[in-house]
Chain A
Amino acid sequence: MWPWLLQRVSAALLLFFLMAHLWIEHFMHLGARITYRSVLERLLHGFYVFVDAGLLAVVVFHGLNGLRTVLVENTNDPAAVRAVTTTVWVVGVATFVFGMDVLSPFLFGHPWFRL
């Protein structure tokens, strides 16, 4: 039940986050030139960072939970299902850390894992 229910909950959250993300990135600054500086200033805004970090967490869960559903659909072997679930969780956490690293210069002033 939980994969099914959380897929719906994350879908509802996604509707909010994705609309905010698309609105901020594509429609709020229509016509303005996109430059390194303008994006940097945009991302320094706390609400934008909240939207992007929230979107990242929810979209990674929703996407990989969906992928897991597809992968385990025609297997009845509990061990295979467990293996897929574990793999997907590891990939998901790694993706989230990777995504936060992309955002990190704007959150902490410097990248997490970049030399």
Chain B
Amino acid sequence: MGQGFKVRPASGLKRHPAQSLATYRTGTWAWVLHRVSGLLILAYLYFHLIVLSSDVWFKGSADFNRVVGELTAPPFLVADLLLFVVVLYHALNGIRIMLLDLGYGIRHQRQVFWGLMGVGALVMAAASVALLPRAHL
């Protein structure tokens, strides 16, 4: 007894193991990213409303026009596109969730997910082409 094995401490092990990354498959990533993107969009909603309600919005057109000029500078357009990626992901995965809830594509959920992500890449490319030239207004 005891000849063919050795023992070593493993303080990294938890008594009540949570999920490890090994359990993350397509559906898990879709779920986690959906949640993260949803919270990001909610934060943006408040940012959006606060910006619009600020004095600039109501006082004098000169201020407004200056701020719009600043907001169409390249860094903000890149931020706009990043926001668009987040919203687009949330919308497309939301469509996937509603399709699954209606009973469509359950047996092919991976293909449905990647198909919708492909659609998202195309929309993203089109939106970039349409929006980026505005940096030179």
Contact = CB atoms under 8 A, between A and B. Distances in A.
B114 to A, nearest CB: 20
A63 interface: yes
Nearest to B41: A63
Contacts of A15: 91, 94-95
The A contact surface, by secondary structure, is helix
Range of interface residues on chain A?
A: 20 to 34
Interface string B41-61: 110011001001100011011
Contacts of A64: 42
Interface residues of B, number: 30
Nearest first, the 3 A-B pairs at minimum CB distance are A36-B61, A36-B64, A63-B42
Given A36-B60, A36-B64, A59-B45, 13 more contacts: A8-B101, A18-B87, A26-B131, A27-B130, A30-B134, A36-B61, A36-B65, A66-B42, A70-B39, A95-B49, A101-B53, A102-B53, A111-B58
Interface of A: 8, 11-12, 14-15, 18, 26-27, 30-31, 33-37, 39, 59-60, 63-64, 66-67, 70, 95, 98-99, 101-102, 105, 111, 114
